[in-house]
Amino acid sequence: MPPIDLCLEAIISDCGFVARSFAGDPKQVRMLIKAAFAHRGTAILDIISPCVTFNNKDDSSKSYAWGRSHGEVVNDFTFVLPREQITVDYKEGETREVTMHDGGSIVLQKLDSGKHDPTDRAAAIRLLEDARLKQRFVTGLIYLDQSRPSLAEVERLGDVPLSLLPEAKTRPARATLDKLMASMK
């Protein structure tokens, strides 16, 4: 398990959309990406993705320890060993152990939308803490707060893109620039 849970940190930091998925579950990833883009505020989507280029077991000839003791280049980043894509297909509420390319494994637990209320901040925090204790990665929509305004709303940016605004609206008058420059002397 990671020392820092990105999803827990996002909730604590008051992020309005927090979700996690596994790259090998493309249906869920697609759904969560669409939802994250549709969210008005800050969205965090943690996607667990197995790395096919890293093997850091001490007995592996591609590990840091082996390379250091043999004084050889550890990685050739111009070559990536082809690997089969890891995919999973499991239903809401199910838990699935997934074997990674290096032989290690992670346990995924897909949230059951009927049993988890993503609008309950305290429940989302408890859910992530419970998953950490059980050494699992919860996947799905973990937390959602639609009451927070977006950055554009907070900053009153308006509906017209900056690139379409006339220069008079985006560029200060010469007198204003002169006054600003004079104040910096």
8 Å CB contact between 139 and 24: no
**Amino acid sitting at position 110:** K
Q: What is the pLDDT along the chain (185 residues), one digit of tens a residue?
A: 557 899 999 999 999 999 999 888 888 999 999 999 999 888 999 998 765 455 556 665 444 454 445 443 344 445 556 778 888 888 998 989 998 888 888 899 898 888 999 999 999 999 999 998 988 888 999 999 988 877 788 888 888 888 898 988 888 889 999 999 999 98
Distance CA 154, CA 129 (A): 32
Question: Model pTM?
Answer: 0.65
Distance CA 68, CA 132 (A): 33
The torsion angles phi and psi of 98, rounded to 5 degrees, stand at -120, 125
| Count, residues in the chain | 185
